[in-house]
Amino acid sequence: MRNDPRSHGLWEVSAPQAPVTAPLSGAAEADVVVIGAGFTGLSAALHLAEAGKSVIVLEADQIGFGASGRNVGLVNAGMWVLPEAMPQALGPVYGPRLLAVLGAAPAEVFALVRRHGIACEAVARGTLHCAVGAAGLAEITERARQWAALGAPVEVLDASDTARRLGGGRYAGALLDRRAGTLQPLAYVRGLARAARMAGARICTESPATGAGPQGAGRRVTTSEGSVQAAWLIVATDAYTGALFAGLRREQVALPYFNMATPPLPEGVRAGILPGGEGCWDTRAVLSSFRMDAAGRLVFGSVGRLGWADRAIHRAWALRALHRIFPQLSGIGFESDWFGRIGMTADALPRLHMLGKNALAIAGYNGRGIAPGTVLGKALAEHVLGARAIEAMPLPVRPVTPAPLRLAHEAGYSIGAAAAHLLADRI
């Protein structure tokens, strides 16, 4: 986007075109104004419009410009927090409630894709959380035990079964989660936008909000070229939140994450890598992720930003790691790369905020935005519609709280990832 091949990389090339939109111009009115055209904002807009509400979505850039259009494309169930730790973090009411909502979230995503005919390479064949060494195996075994106790269809694979499903690698095992899967994220978010528009929502791109506050019985949001008067405001900008809602941005530590994609692999090679179509990531502190797209490209990612000297470091590391896991890809490199940022919170859980009367925000997906963003956007819509009380939301309302040492942590993520990748396989 914006003529930057490293903003969305492969996803921009392979996604269907976005619906035609225009900036907001002049004064407008709606039942609900949504700021942010990503998974959360567009899911909320879609469900509101389907219920008969008038909705205007304001996007500062283009549909899916933020993390929704740049991520790996893993449709996960749950967050990083272990299931048994969720009630400790959120209490005996919200902890189990959020677990139930997130456990069912991938199925909701895939059902939404089918219902609206969204062409986004959706593959509901599970994910593999790959264990590095004995510590990694212990980690996934405990996670699997906790999910299985809740009835989730999860299984721990041994090293040989893991290697067979991957078509390579030397992992100690893997957690197979059959609820999960993959999709093309930019295609999915554009599909949500198309569905929301067909339901009656209006989407205005290149329309950054410059002001937002109470006016009369509702909220008034301004842009450089217009304004929207609405009864309700939903803020869904996550890690790409701007200065207007600076508190939401300060609550998150931005973690940079990149992806690199091979060319379409030769058919004979392609058939032997991830033959079941699962998406994967490992248990390393500076983790790696990998999955196939519909054209047979292997998409490989990790923590780090692709700027200045960092790009050369991360690209060299990614090639070494790719060829170590899949020796049959020796001689094959990457044809595209891109990166973005993930909003991390102090407790690794998303936050629900009331920003005043009839003003809601959810942020902080911690790299798990596809399925949680979709279902939490729906929950926001249900609250606006009066179908779900604020006390019945999947998350408790919490005050906006700045992340401790945010800037130091952000610098640490970038510097630490570059150092880890520079030294990996060399010491």
Residue 227 CA, distance from chain mean position: 29
The three-state secondary structure class of 409 is helix
Sequence ranges of the domains in the chain: 5-126+179-423
| Nearest-5° Cα angle at 343, 47 to 146 | 80
Sheet holding 253-261, edge to edge: 154-157, 173-177, 127-131, 279-282, 288-292, 298-303, 253-261, 336-344
Cα distance between residue 311 and residue 418, in whole Å: 9
Nearest of 417, 409, 130 to residue 286 by alpha carbon: 417
For 5, other C-beta atoms within 10 Å of its C-beta total 13
CATH of domain 5-126+179-423: 3.50.50.60
* Full-model pTM: 0.97
411 sits in which H/E element: helix 406-423
DSSP for 65-92 reads: -SGGGTS--EE-SS-SS-GGGHHHHHHH
Name the packing angle between helices 185-198 and 5-14 (round to 10°).
70
Structure tokens at 193: 């936008």
Each residue's pLDDT expressed in tens, for the chain with a length of 427 residues: 766 777 899 999 999 999 999 999 999 999 999 999 999 999 999 999 999 999 999 999 999 999 999 999 999 999 999 999 999 999 999 999 999 999 999 999 999 999 999 999 999 999 999 999 999 999 999 999 999 999 999 999 999 999 999 999 999 999 999 999 999 999 999 999 999 999 999 999 999 999 999 999 899 999 999 999 999 999 999 999 999 999 999 999 999 999 999 999 999 999 999 999 999 999 999 999 999 999 999 999 999 999 878 999 999 999 999 999 999 999 999 999 999 999 999 999 999 999 999 999 999 999 999 999 999 999 999 999 999 999 999 999 999 999 999 999 899 999 999 999 999 866 4
Which DSSP symbol is given to 387? S
Residue 307: the pLDDT is 85
Q: What Rg, from alpha-carbon coordinates, does the chain have? A: 21
